[in-house]
Amino acid sequence: MDKERRPPVIAIVAGEESGDNLGADLAEALNARLPVAPSYIGVGGARLTALGLKSFFDMSDVSVMGLTAVLQRLPLIVKRVYQTVDGIVAANPDILIIIDSPDFTHNVANRVRKRAPHIPIVGYVSPSVWAWRPGRARKMSRYVDDLLALLPFEPAIHKKLGGPPTHYVGHPLSENIGDLRPAAGERPPVDGQRKTLLVLPGSRTSEISRLLDPFGETVAKVSEAVPDLELVLPAVPHLEDKIRTGVASWTVQPSIIAGPEEKQAAFRRAHAALAASGTVSLELALAGVPMVVAYKVDWFFRRLKDLNRIFKFASVDSFVLPNIILGEKAIPEFLDDEANPDALSAALAPLLADTPDRQRQIDAFTRLGEAMCLADGASQRGAAADVVIKRMASGRN
């Protein structure tokens, strides 16, 4: 059967669980929109394979975080890059979609473009060119035909930097915003007696190791100013035991929960949060939970941070996503030595009362929601699928 008459073949390459989730949501939207169900090949995890993707290998082979882990597994990762390229070129798909994990997926895309230049390529999730190594944008334009951005300011950034055509398709968190925002009466008034504070020390072992102790000292100080304080700590399941061990010495004990439903319920009733930097700050903001954000980097990135003061190769002065999107320091953020219990507790305590500090964040979250919403209430996955289908129809023209 020739290519014009066979069902579409779509290659999807993801490198970690978040990419697998994005890819699965996109595949579901494509299945609903295309007149003939496509077949999927590439690299994916549990959700994509459940939808029928034939993965060239187990995605865990390339799901590594941190410089040391990458170096230890580098020979296998290089082997998997070439295996993925060979598989895609042999399958000759109608389109290739690469999702996040740029050190892996962009290496694949660049090589596919050289060996099979007729295959259109869509990138899903922009690398943070606005914060780090902006020259990547222009390089991407050589092998990415369309880029699907999760943040509203990214299309303008790529246009300025000479990147590929970039389309804001919304953030996946916006799809689940109803699960995060409280129903009437679900979040008790902040001027009531009982206050709920979320503690979110991160989703990686390294983050938790660096933040649990200062977070424990911080909540102890806050509890002195806010006596009737309930602490809730949503833990990622694979780190729950480590977290329980780490908080055993805290003077104020948190209630540790695990699982998405419990986490969403906690977000809906929380009055404030102390959080590690990451996507969770955007999740909290969309849920309307005022917060203080902290982060401590390892020795390697501390040295980079020191060098950046001289050479200025990082181009943003914030590490908190809502602040970057809004273009203002709406959320207090503390990095490294600044992330100490005295500073964190001083910024956090006012958020647990009806104060101007609290109201300023709530007002900023309203602006954030407006900036991130798609026109006409379009769905995030649907917007992404529409760009992919249009590119499939036009090819590389």
pLDDT > 90? residue 296: no
pLDDT > 70? residue 310: no
| Distances from the Cα of 256 to the Cα of 231, 267, 272, angstroms | 9, 14, 16
23-57 tens-digit pLDDT: 999 999 999 999 999 999 999 999 999 999 999 99
Report the pLDDT value the prediction gives residue 71, as an integer from 0 to 100.
Answer: 79
Q: Which residue has the higher pLDDT, 83 or 4?
A: 83
348-373 tens-digit pLDDT: 999 999 999 999 999 999 999 999 98
DSSP-H helix ranges across the chain = 17-33, 46-50, 67-72, 74-91, 102-115, 136-140, 154-161, 177-180, 205-225, 240-247, 260-269, 279-287, 299-311, 321-326, 341-348, 356-372, 380-394
Mean pLDDT of the chain: 91
268-278 tens-digit pLDDT: 999 999 999 99
Report the distance separating Cα 17 and Cα 335, nearest Å.
27
Q: Which residue has the higher pLDDT, 68 or 73?
A: 73
With a CB cutoff of 8 Å and minimum separation 6, the contacts of 321 are 151, 278, 279, 281, 282
Its CATH class, for the domain covering 9-170+375-394, is alpha beta
Report the distance separating Cα 56 and Cα 194, nearest Å.
53
In the chain, CATH 3.40.50.2000 covers: 9-170+375-394, 177-372
Q: Minimal CA–CA distance to 26: which of 13, 15, 35, 16?
A: 13
CATH architecture of 177-372: 3-Layer(aba) Sandwich (3.40)
Give this prediction's pTM: 0.88
203-215 tens-digit pLDDT: 888 889 999 999 9
